[in-house]
């Protein structure tokens, strides 16, 4: 069953049990959040998502936080808030964004999150004044894969994130990656390996079965992760205008693997003048092969995230010799 329906079943009675017990240690009022964000002043605006906006705030005790305010006029926002509360209430992992508290009344719903001072991965990939070296990009992918392994295999109730993409990967002060935004997440009951949904995430990262049939399983996250791996090392957005019905980021990588991989890899990562140019390119080739295995059309043929994480760690052991 999708989270939205679980949440709506309780909403008529007021605050859901999920919401009520999610943050028993700390409650932050609407008034305190307004103070913390200077009434949601535009100077504190961090970004906007499908269901609301995020603001930087400073609490009374000096803690800097991110306040995610849901736009309740937006279709699906209320369901997203319930889904995020449900998914996050029992999750604890170094590579997931920590939720500090929530604020909920009939006209206002917000989550108070750990603030990530280095923004999101998308900003670092495409900003002209930011750059990530080859090891740091691989470290970030290992962090994300570690988070997914936890969600898929180490939780009492497996969680499928359903909206994995660079803008949902946040970076802390040490550039450690944290997966965020569980507004579309689905929980799998013990007897379930898949669920069905009508709520779709960002199209160019969607697994085929998710986009066409609404079938959600952990292999959907693996597919999105594979697309993100390609994006991280090519610095090419899968939504780029060059891609369309006949060409996708994946098919572009497939076409280049045999002879022209060097042409599609981000030029900031390898140079022909580098003493270890061929060795580095071989490591990137291994990453791309793994990405292609993660993005096979059939879910049954895709790698699982455990195997992908092991492979990435082995590639890093090789790569560090050449940097």
d(CA 276, CA 59): 49
Whether 163 is catalytic is: yes
Residues 6+ apart with CB under 8 A from 183: 49, 50, 51, 80, 81, 83, 84, 163
Helix (H, G, I), strand (E, B) or coil at 52: strand
Residue 111 forms beta bridges with which residues? 68, 102
Q: Exposed/middle/buried for 79, CB within 10 Å: 0-12, 13-18, 19+?
A: buried
| 269/234 Cα distance (integer angstroms) | 9
CA distance 135 to 117: 20
DSSP 98-155: PEEEEEEETTEEEEEEE--TT-BHHHHHH-TT----HHHHHHHHHHHHHHHHIIIIIS
Task: Catalytic residue, from 60, 107, 129, 163: name it.
Answer: 163
CB 55 within 8 A of CB 67: yes
**Residues designated catalytic:** 163
């Amino acid at each position: 069953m999708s989270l939205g329906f679980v949440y709506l079943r309780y909403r008529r009675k007021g605050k859901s049990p999920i919401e009520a017990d999610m943050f028993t240690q700390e409650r932050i009022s609407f008034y305190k959040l307004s103070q913390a964000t200077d009434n949601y002043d535009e100077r504190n605006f961090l970004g906007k998502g499908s269901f609301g906006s995020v603001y930087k705030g400073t609490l009374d005790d000096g803690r800097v936080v991110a306040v995610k305010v849901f736009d309740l006029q937006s279709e699906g926002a209320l369901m997203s808030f319930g889904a995020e509360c449900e998914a996050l209430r029992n999750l604890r992992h170094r590579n997931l964004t920590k939720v500090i508290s929530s604020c909920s009344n009939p006209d206002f719903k917000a989550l108070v999150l750990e603030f990530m001072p280095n923004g999101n991965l998308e900003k670092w990939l495409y900003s002209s004044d930011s750059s990530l070296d080859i090891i740091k990009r691989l470290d970030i992918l290992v962090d994300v894969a570690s988070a997914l392994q936890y969600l898929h295999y180490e939780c009492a109730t497996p969680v499928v994130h359903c909206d994995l993409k660079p803008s949902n990967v946040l970076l802390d002060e040490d550039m450690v990656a944290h997966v965020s935004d569980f507004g579309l997440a689905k929980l799998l009951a013990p007897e379930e390996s898949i669920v069905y949904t009508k709520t779709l995430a960002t199209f160019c990262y969607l697994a085929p079965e998710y986009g066409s049939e609404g079938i959600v399983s952990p292999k959907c996250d693996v597919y999105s992760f594979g697309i993100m791996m390609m994006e991280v090392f090519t610095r090419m957005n899968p939504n780029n205008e060059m891609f369309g019905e006949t060409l996708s980021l994946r098919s572009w990588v497939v076409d280049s693997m045999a002879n022209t991989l060097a042409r599609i890899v981000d030029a900031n990562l390898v140079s022909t003048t580098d003493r270890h140019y061929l060795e580095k390119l071989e490591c990137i080739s291994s990453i791309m092969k793994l990405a292609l295995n993660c993005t096979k059309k059939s879910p049954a043929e895709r790698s699982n995230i455990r195997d992908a994480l092991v492979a990435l760690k082995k590639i890093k052991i090789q790569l560090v010799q050449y940097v």
